[in-house]
Amino acid sequence: MAELVREDGALVLKLSTIEKAESVHGDITVPLSSVQEITVVDDIIRAVHGIKLPGSRIPGIFAMGTFLSGTEKIFAIVHHQNQRGVKVRLQSETFDTLLVGADNPEKLVESLGY
């Protein structure tokens, strides 16, 4: 399962081997200075929207990969068992938003210092 961690002045989204294959993407590292906000999302799968670019998706079930919604570029890692998760808003990065499913999103946000 994906892991969102803080490392050496960066926010790192670490993906498992299967997640890398399903999302057609590797781990994502962004400087903490690019993170605008991290919030808890109660219905994380519904937060994934737009046209699926590389990746895998069954609407309402799971979403892994890149999505384009208007001018917003989203990267999502949401498994079928994740009802909740976190939304990471970024500035001046490849992705505008990261959507990550989490068992305990409040604890995750706290562990990241937000």
- The maximal CA–CA distance of the chain, rounded, in angstroms, is 35
What pLDDT sits at residue 86? 98
User: pLDDT grade, residue 106 (50/70/90)?
Assistant: very high
Q: What is the pTM of this model?
A: 0.95
Structure tokens at 31: 């400087």
Q: Using an 8 Å Cβ cutoff, are 41 and 29 in contact?
A: no
Neighbour-count burial for 96-108, b at 16+ CB within 10 Å, e otherwise: bbbbbbbeebeeb
